[in-house]
């Protein structure tokens, strides 16, 4: 009789249960044990902000699979409220502690899976142990926050960190009627995902929703009242009164068990694994937030703390601990987040990340609509593409706005996974009907803008380059080719700015200096590019258009209504 495979999995949130379920399907005879120090398995922690806001009413909705499913349907041993204390590699045993009885025992394994997740980053600041300072990693954290804000005695909240959780929780707190301040030490929101001009698009929306954004500020400490509750946050720029603080500074891989067992830890701080998700011990696998991944573009090691990635890891591990040889190719850092009425999505490298990695890049900023402009109620989106200049290979993309963004980034993720070029993207056979898209999707348009730049037809300056020219007092024409009505309601206020509508441009060429520098802009760059080509054809050599034009302008405008 063939010996029974003994599989032990430490961690029961995402990667662990997925690995267990896959292993059971691959090996119906295996003995599988899940060790989890919490009370529940398979919890949807990504839904916690929506539970705090009340969009998700019951915490039970966040438990994807119950204990009895794993015990009865999947025939596994489930040890909840049990903490793994140590891995004894030579003996192939895990030492564990039952948190209810304080009984220590050992569990034998043939294959061991580490799915220990991550630990919220806790700043070493004075006052961090005051009551009312929270992280958000587990259902119990969300319950504690809900219990504090539900009586509506809390008025003000300070969030440290403008990443995914920080912005999701800003919306959750505002929906609960609280005054919200978000403090970010770096220069813009979602700094690990977006470039400045795209982030600025989100920042305007956040401020419009009443969120107080404090960027480029460091938190120095917390002060409490006489009862030990936090009441003040001290920053590099002053003090803020508050009733609650949320630490949304990200997480670090929980590698204590792995380190104590002398498994290799990578340069990112995550557990080092090979393509089969094996650690430096071939009988121990690891996945989820606790490991480091390969970036499929740069081939560098990165952390990828996402539930989607953890579930993919789980499937690969479940296959391999059952005798398979499946590989995990790495990540593209695909992410999406809802920020009030805006949808934010990105994939691959941002422009700043690509330049830091040594790529010579070409980019574009293309405002557009989620579907055909003549179909009613279409919403705006802004697309930024990043490509390698030498061969037009796509490196990344960002799509933001009130319109549909996730499906565009899913297209880009697929394209990046297969090494697509801008030319490939421009000719993708995407689904088209007026309620769903335009005849040329915004992704097609963005790809064609880069193609035109590479061919030398489109010559552009970024909004930041134009702003620098204005700030430096450069002598050039900032030519607004929109209509007088558009100029009258929203415009860039500068001595260099001048209105010359596109439909009048050919008749009024003599009003412009042929030897002078001209930068054209409009609402979305379509007319601005056309103006640039008209002027080039008429012998004006020093002409560029502003990428994204006023729809992507991340600075103040003079306006009587929204641009």
Catalytic residue set? 46
Q: Spell out the residues 6+ positions from residue 243 whose beta carbon is closer than 8 angstroms to its own.
A: 132, 153, 154, 155, 156, 157, 229, 230, 231
Pair of tokens at residue 201: 């698009």
Q: What angle do CA 199, 268, 318 make, to 5 degrees?
A: 100
> Rounded distance, CA 167 to CA 178, Å?
14
Specify burial of residue 554 (Cβ count, 10 A radius: 0-12, 13-18, 19+).
buried
> Rounded distance, CA 481 to CA 511, Å?
14
Specify burial of residue 560 (Cβ count, 10 A radius: 0-12, 13-18, 19+).
exposed
Work out whether the CA dihedral 322, 326, 332, 334 comes out positive or negative. Answer: negative
Q: Are 70 and 34 in contact (CB under 8 A)?
A: yes
In what side-by-side order are the strands of the sheet with 82-88? Answer: 82-88, 93-98, 104-108
Pair of tokens at residue 90: 């030579």
> Rounded distance, CA 45 to CA 145, Å?
15
The residue whose two tokens read 């609402």 is 523
> Rounded distance, CA 13 to CA 25, Å?
19
Q: Select from 442, 338, 426 the least CA-distant residue to 384.
A: 442
Pair of tokens at residue 294: 């390969």
């Amino acid at each position: 009789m063939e010996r029974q495979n003994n599989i032990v999995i430490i961690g029961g949130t995402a990667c662990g249960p997925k690995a267990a379920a896959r292993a059971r399907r691959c090996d119906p005879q295996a003995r599988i044990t899940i060790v989890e120090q919490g009370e529940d398995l398979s919890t949807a922690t990504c839904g916690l902000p929506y539970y705090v806001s009340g969009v998700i009413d019951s915490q039970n909705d966040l438990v994807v699979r119950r204990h009895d499913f794993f015990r009865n349907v999947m025939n596994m041993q489930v040890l909840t409220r049990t903490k793994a204390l140590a891995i004894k590699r030579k003996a192939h045993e895990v030492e564990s502690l039952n948190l209810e009885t304080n009984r220590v025992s050992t569990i034998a394994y043939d294959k061991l899976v580490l799915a220990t997740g991550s630990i919220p980053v806790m700043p070493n600041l004075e006052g961090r142990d005051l009551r009312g300072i929270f992280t958000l990693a587990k259902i119990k954290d969300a319950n504690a926050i809900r219990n504090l804000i539900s009586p509506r005695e809390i008025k003000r909240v300070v969030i440290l960190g403008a990443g995914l959780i920080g912005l999701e929780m800003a919306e959750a707190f505002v929906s609960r009627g609280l005054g919200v301040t978000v403090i970010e030490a770096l220069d813009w929101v979602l700094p690990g995902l977006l470039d400045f001009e795209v982030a600025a698009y989100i920042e305007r929306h956040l401020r419009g929703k009443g969120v107080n954004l404090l960027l480029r500020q460091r938190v120095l400490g917390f002060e409490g009242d006489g009862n030990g509750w936090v009441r003040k946050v001290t920053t590099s720029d002053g003090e803020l009164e508050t009733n609650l603080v949320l630490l949304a500074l990200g997480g670090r891989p929980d590698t204590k068990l792995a380190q104590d067992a002398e498994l290799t830890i990578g340069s990112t701080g995550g557990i080092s694994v090979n393509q089969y998700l094996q650690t430096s011990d071939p009988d121990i696998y690891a996945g989820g937030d606790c490991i480091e991944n390969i970036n499929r573009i740069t081939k560098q090691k990165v952390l990828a703390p996402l539930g989607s990635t953890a579930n993919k890891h789980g499937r690969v591990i479940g296959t391999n601990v059952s005798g398979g040889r499946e590989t995990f190719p790495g990540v593209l850092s695909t992410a999406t987040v809802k920020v009030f009425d805006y949808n934010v999505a990105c994939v691959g490298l941002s422009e700043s990340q690509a330049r830091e990695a040594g790529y010579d890049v070409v980019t574009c900023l293309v405002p557009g609509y989620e579907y055909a402009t003549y179909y009613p109620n279409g919403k705006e989106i802004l697309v930024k593409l990043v490509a390698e200049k030498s061969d037009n290979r796509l490196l990344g993309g960002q799509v933001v706005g009130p319109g549909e963004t996730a499906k565009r980034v899913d297209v880009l993720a697929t394209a990046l996974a297969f090494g697509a070029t801008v030319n490939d993207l421009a000719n993708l056979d995407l689904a088209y009907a007026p309620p769903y898209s335009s005849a040329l999707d915004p992704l097609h348009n963005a790809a064609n803008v880069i193609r035109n730049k590479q061919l030398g037809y489109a010559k552009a300056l970024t909004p930041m380059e134009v702003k620098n020219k204005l700030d430096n007092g450069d002598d050039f024409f900032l030519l607004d080719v929109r209509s007088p009505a558009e100029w009258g309601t929203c415009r860039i206020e500068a001595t260099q700015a001048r209105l010359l509508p596109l439909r009048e441009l050919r008749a009024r060429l003599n009003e412009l200096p042929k030897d002078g520098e001209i930068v054209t802009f409009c609402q979305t760059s379509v007319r601005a590019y056309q103006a640039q080509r008209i002027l080039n054809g008429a012998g004006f050599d020093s002409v560029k258009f502003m990428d994204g034009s006023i729809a992507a302008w991340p600075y103040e405008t003079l306006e009587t209504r929204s641009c």
